Structure formats: structure tokens, C-alpha cells
Amino acid sequence: MVKNFTFILLIGLTLSVSGYGQDRAIASNQSIVKLIKFYPNPATTIINFEFQKGYDKSLSFEIFNFLGKKVLELKNVTPINQVNLTDFTRGVYIFQLRDNSGKVLESGKFQVSK
């Protein structure tokens, strides 16, 4: 009886883990539309942020250091924005593109290496 229970439990765990893996694979195969293209990464003196066609000019763009402090905010973004990194220290930064209500539409990270 104990052997049967262990066997059934083992099969149940195997099926649940393999099902989870399939769900993740299906979700990762879906295409995600990116609004922002940025380069170079890692950056040293400047970084360019290109907004794809269809973006709204009223969106705001923010950059935070790794501690969460806002270091830059751009209102009414243009198709191509060049950010001067001379005042940025070496490290990882997070950017967020927000709509008028404050909802984050896209986020990402880039590295400054000096």
C-alpha cells in the first residue's frame, strides 16, 4: 500500500512539473511587441533610446539607478533620445516607459561601464 501511494505521488509530481514546463514554453514563444530599442549596452558616454512607430508623444521616460533613485525623467519623448551619461556612475540602471496614468508600458535595464 505504501509503495503504491509513493508511486502515485511520484507520478503526480512528475506530471505537474512537466505541465508547468510546457506552460512556460508556450508563454515564451508568444511574440512581445517592444516599443523601445536602446544601444549601445553596455554604454560609456551616451546611450540612445529609439521609440518604435506607434508610440504616443505624451509618454514619460524615466531612468533609475540600482538603488531606485530617479536620475532622469523625459516628458514628451521624441522618436530618438540620446542620454548623456557623464553624470552617471558605473553600474546598472533601470528604465521605464509610462503612460499618462502612470502605468508602466515597458521597462528594461542597461549598464554603464566607465
Q: What is the mean pLDDT of each run of 10 residues along the chain (114 residues)?
A: 44 38 38 81 97 81 96 90 96 94 94 94
| Cα–Cα dist 88/25, whole Å | 38
Residue 76: CB atoms within 10 Å: 10
Identify the three-state secondary structure at position 100.
coil
Q: 33: Cβ–Cβ under 8 A, 6 or more apart, which residues? A: 52
Q: What is the pLDDT of residue 53?
A: 75
Q: What is the pLDDT of residue 38?
A: 96
Q: What is the pLDDT of residue 89?
A: 96
Q: What is the pLDDT of residue 62?
A: 97
The CATH architecture assigned to 36-112 reads Sandwich (2.60)
% pLDDT > 70, the chain: 70
Q: What is the pLDDT of residue 33?
A: 66
Q: What is the pLDDT of residue 58?
A: 85
pTM above 0.75, yes or no: no
Can you say whether residue 12 is alpha, beta or left, with left for phi > 0 and alpha for psi between -120 and 50 degrees? alpha
CB 94 within 8 A of CB 67: no
Mean pLDDT of the chain: 78
